[in-house]
Amino acid sequence: MEIVKELWGKTGCGKEIFRYTLTNSKGASVQLSNIGAGIVSVIVPDKDGRLADVVLGYPVPESYFGDGPCAGKVPGRYANRIALGKFTLDGKEYELPVNNGPNHLHGGPDGFQNKVWDSRENEGGVEFMYYAEDGEMGYPGALKAVARYEWSEDNELRLTLTAESDAPTIVNLTNHAYFNLNGEGNGDILGHVLRLNASEYLPTDETLIPEGESQPVAGTPMDFVTEKPVGRDINEDFPALKYGKGYDNCWVIDGAEPGQIQSAAVLYAPESGRTLEVLTTQPGVQVYTGNWLAGCPEGKCGRSYNDYEGVAIECQNFPDAPNKADYPSPVLRPGEVYEQAIIFAFGVRE
């Protein structure tokens, strides 16, 4: 495995922005950046062996700061939404900045995704570390977060996310990469075929906050237990699809067990033959079909992406879990280690 580190730019205050390229012996590669511990590109072969970049992103580092899509990055301290920007922990209520309608999203406007992380090459992988101060974006506890990426000879990108805190806090980390298995800039993903290892999903209110218990997907447009094109039911008259202008919901992964790697999703592009299986230790998978990509910064393809040109498959804890006692607990206490894994396994189907 070859790993090349390069200086990609500097922030206005002089922080160095690095880009790492990991290339295996077959010529397939991944590029990573220390802006939000992000995935910048994944270049993998199609069914005919032709290489293409299947991750949406930008050609210049400046575009990754404050972008609406959160392209490729690790949002935090809490990925996804917290209702009304409020939660109670150990009897104390905390208020967080509201940045998505009435709710708090992805750790707030100055979340982890908009920070320059420390970075290093270590033991065949690349590690990014961010230290969040106590009270940053309203969260309690000083938190150290580490994102470690490894790229294999079999075109598997493994992401391990760990965190420790010096006081009780909440944490939920994921990666927010958008995939287009025909290659970024090559049209929409509505013809991609998706299968989810999930027979239940979390219905939400119109602001995309889960209303409580999970519901069966059977008989609804949310059913991906048997693979189907992403766009087949996307325009159905169904609350979840109306609220989000497409899919933007969390599914409950069947058979999820803490610490156990489980298949969450399989994505397939018939045109290119490329496949992506996403495996994780997390209990949920948020699927977002890029419903609001239009107006984002200019992409690597030389233009701004349009809606539905990429799909994010975000393995994580459930949205608003800090306010839902029956959801998996997002609480991290001193002496504990938050640890989750996500594997993006790329292949081809003839």
Give me the active site residues, please: 176, 314
Q: What residues pair up with 162 in beta bridges, in sequence order?
A: 146, 339
- Please state, in angstroms and as integers, the Cα–Cα distance from residue 108 to each residue in 78, 100, 187, following that order: 9, 9, 30
Q: Rounded to an integer, what distance in angstroms lies between the CA atom of residue 111 and that of residue 136?
A: 9
Residue 219 has, within 13 A of its CA and on its CB side, a CA count of: 2
Look at the alpha carbons of 292, 298, 304, 305 in this order and tell me if their dihedral is positive or negative: negative
**CA nearest 45: which of 202, 301, 337, 272?**
272
| Strand pairing category for 200-201 and 215-216 | antiparallel
Q: How many other C-beta atoms are found inside a 10 Å radius of the C-beta of residue 236?
A: 12
Q: Rounded to an integer, what distance in angstroms lies between the CA atom of residue 154 and that of residue 259?
A: 23
- Specify the residue for token string 């594997």: 343
Strand, helix or coil for residue 19? strand
